[in-house]
């Protein structure tokens, strides 16, 4: 992986490997106490977190508290409330073959874990996966993105006040450090990021047969039915897309709308943008910025490429490189070969694709990789069921955007190109646990008592009865 050596990484890694047996024997009460201590530290550093995200993204206080801090606190409280129940062994029923035996599933920690978190929600996504990792009884090395230095600093301070380094440790670094960490053997790796890097992580895990969870992304569609109120549709679309300036893995990546409604949508969009953000959205304190120059240029190039190929741009296409500002942009009549229809945008751009039938919608969605989320705005049950049942996606959300990730009893994750495995809540606990089957056989009725050597006519009768009736 990497030709360099990093002694401090070796030190932390070795300490956690040596300590994982101690950590896995922490009682549920001790694990909950650590989570509650983490909660207190987050609350105590609330203003520092807001300030750090402001420096990294020019993110507003409201957006930071609602999308970074609240989800983490909510997850901690969910685990503190339910961990005792979730961690209990679960008895399962027997069939006649195992009459008299006791069968159960025991949740055991996976061991030493690696959490690679992304830059787009640097506080939330690092901790949202640490919570189940710790609750399940594991150690954790957290490798955050190097793009969010201010948030990483606060995060490191908070973690240092709660955990010893042989239990949880954040490690700074760029590509080379990440490669070096990935060269080591972990019992479980949880990665959030792009599909291309996800393939590298999965390959690294395969070398040690480590289990791997991938939260990736993809082009999540927003399908707007003919029956849906366009004012509501535009309002929700603006909010869901522009949170974090479009740098959200479950943001609607493109809009599918009936051809008879497209122009009305554009007109209403421009009207609401002017009303919400003023004539120059750049002056609004509510809009975040692109994370860095590289991503600013990438999104700008996607817009320019589409326009050069013939797309119309009724709103947007204005930039300020110094501020990393891209004006929210609408694109219509986008050619199929435009790059913006091929890769995840991760920016404040609304490509609008028109359809004239539900079959068009289904075929368009199914022509691409499976998205992380699929959104439907409609009150038409037939439309909703048709799209839901004939497309495949990580999740389906009807008549709203993004908020399914906050539901306490639903898994979050993609499939294939958009991810492998599930996270959050109970599903996050299972993700960082091994569900170990334990079978205690009643010797009086043991199956092997009747099937053991030497094989004879009685053995054959037992097998015939099993095949016929069991």
pLDDT tens digits, residue range 283-320?
A: 999 999 999 999 999 999 999 999 999 999 999 999 99
**Given pLDDT bands bounded at 50, 70 and 90, which one contains residue 447?**
confident
Domain with CATH 3.40.605.10 in the chain: 7-216+420-434
CB atoms within 10 A of CB 144: 24
User: In the CATH hierarchy, which fold is given to the domain comprising 221-409?
Assistant: Aldehyde Dehydrogenase; Chain A, domain 2 (3.40.309)
Q: Where does CATH 3.40.309.10 sit in the chain?
A: 221-409
Q: How confident is the model at residue 470 (pLDDT cuts 50, 70, 90)?
A: confident
Using one digit for the tens of pLDDT, what is the confidence trace for 369-390? Answer: 999 999 999 999 999 999 999 9
Q: Quote the tokens at residue 110.
A: 């996976």
- CA separation for the pair 348, 315 (Å, rounded): 12
Rg (CA), the chain: 26
Whether residue 446 is predicted with pLDDT greater than 90 in this model: the reply is no
Two tokens, residue 53: 């995200």
The CB density around residue 297, as the number of other CB atoms within 10 Å, is 14
3-state secondary structure of 83: helix
Q: Tell me the two tokens of residue 80.
A: 């503190």
What is the pLDDT at residue 249? Answer: 95
Active site residue 146: no
% of the chain with per-residue pLDDT over 70 = 99
| 326-346 per-position pLDDT tens digit | 999 999 999 999 999 999 999
Q: Are 12 and 60 in contact (CB under 8 A)?
A: no
**Predicted confidence band of residue 445 (pLDDT cuts 50, 70, 90):** confident
Q: What CATH architecture applies to the domain 7-216+420-434?
A: 3-Layer(aba) Sandwich (3.40)
Q: What percent of the chain has pLDDT over 90?
A: 93
Query: What confidence tier does 202 reach under pLDDT thresholds 50, 70, 90?
Result: very high
Those residues with Cβ within 8 angstroms of residue 102's Cβ, 6 or more apart along the chain or in another chain: 91, 439, 440, 442
- Catalytic residue selected from 63, 75, 177, 215: 215
Q: How confident is the model at residue 265 (pLDDT cuts 50, 70, 90)?
A: very high
What are the beta bridge partners of residue 212? 189
Q: Are 400 and 384 in contact (CB under 8 A)?
A: no
The whole-number pLDDT of residue 444 equals 83
Q: Which residues of 20-29 are buried (b: 16+ CB within 10 A; e: fewer)?
A: beebbebeee
pLDDT of residue 2: 54
Contacts 24+ apart (CB under 8 A), 304-311: 305/338, 305/339, 305/340, 306/331, 306/334, 306/335, 306/338, 306/339, 306/340, 306/341, 306/351, 307/331, 309/335, 309/337, 309/338, 310/335, 311/335, 311/338, 311/351
At 448 the pLDDT is: 83
Question: Looking at residue 469, what is its pLDDT?
Answer: 86
């Amino acid at each position: 992986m990497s030709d360099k050596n990093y002694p401090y990484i070796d030190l932390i890694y070795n300490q956690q490997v040596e300590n994982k047996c101690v950590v896995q024997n922490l009682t549920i009460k001790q694990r909950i106490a650590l989570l509650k201590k983490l909660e207190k530290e987050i609350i105590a550093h609330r203003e520092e977190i807001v300030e750090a995200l402001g420096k990294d993204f020019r993110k507003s206080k409201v957006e930071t508290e609602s999308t970074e801090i609240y989800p983490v606190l909510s997850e901690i409280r969910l685990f503190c409330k339910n961990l005792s129940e979730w961690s209990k062994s679960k008895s399962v029923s027997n069939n006649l073959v195992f009459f008299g035996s006791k069968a159960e599933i025991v949740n055991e920690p996976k061991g030493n874990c690696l959490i690679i978190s992304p830059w787009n929600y640097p506080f939330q996504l690092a901790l949202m996966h640490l919570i189940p990792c710790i609750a399940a009884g594991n150690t954790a090395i957290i490798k955050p993105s190097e793009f969010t230095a201010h948030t990483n600093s606060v995060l490191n301070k908070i973690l240092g006040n709660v955990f010893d380094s042989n239990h949880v440790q954040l490690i700074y670094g760029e590509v080379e450090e990440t490669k070096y960490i990935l060269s080591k053997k972990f019992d479980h790796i949880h990665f959030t990021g792009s599909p291309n890097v996800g393939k590298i992580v999965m390959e690294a895990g395969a070398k040690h047969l480590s289990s791997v969870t991938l939260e990736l992304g993809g082009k999540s569609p927003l399908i707007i039915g003919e029956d849906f109120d366009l004012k509501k549709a535009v309002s929700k679309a603006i909010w869901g897309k522009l949170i974090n300036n479009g740098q959200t893995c479950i943001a609607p990546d493109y809009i599918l709308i009936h051809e008879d409604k497209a122009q009305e949508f554009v007109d209403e969009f421009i009207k609401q943008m002017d009303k919400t953000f003023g004539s120059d959205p750049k002056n609004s304190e509510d809009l975040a910025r692109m994370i860095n120059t590289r991503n600013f240029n990438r999104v700008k190039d996607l817009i320019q490429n589409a326009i050069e190929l013939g797309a119309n741009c009724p709103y947007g296409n204005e930039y300020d490189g110094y501020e990393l500002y891209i004006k929210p942009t609408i694109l219509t009549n986008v050619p199929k070969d435009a790059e913006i229809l091929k890769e995840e945008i991760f920016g404040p751009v609304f490509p609008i694709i028109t359809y004239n039938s539900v079959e068009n919608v289904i075929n368009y969605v199914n022509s691409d990789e499976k998205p992380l989320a699929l959104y439907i705005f409609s009150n038409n049950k037939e439309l909703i069921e048709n799209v839901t049942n004939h497309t495949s996606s990580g999740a389906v959300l009807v008549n709203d955007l993004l908020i399914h990730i906050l539901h306490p009893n639903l898994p979050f994750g993609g499939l294939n190109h958009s991810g492998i495995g599930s996270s959050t809540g109970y599903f996050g606990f299972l993700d960082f646990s091994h569900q170990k089957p334990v079978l205690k056989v009643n010797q009086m009725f043991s199956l092997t008592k009747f099937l053991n050597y030497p094989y004879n006519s009685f053995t054959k009768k037992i097998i015939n009865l099993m095949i016929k009736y069991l």
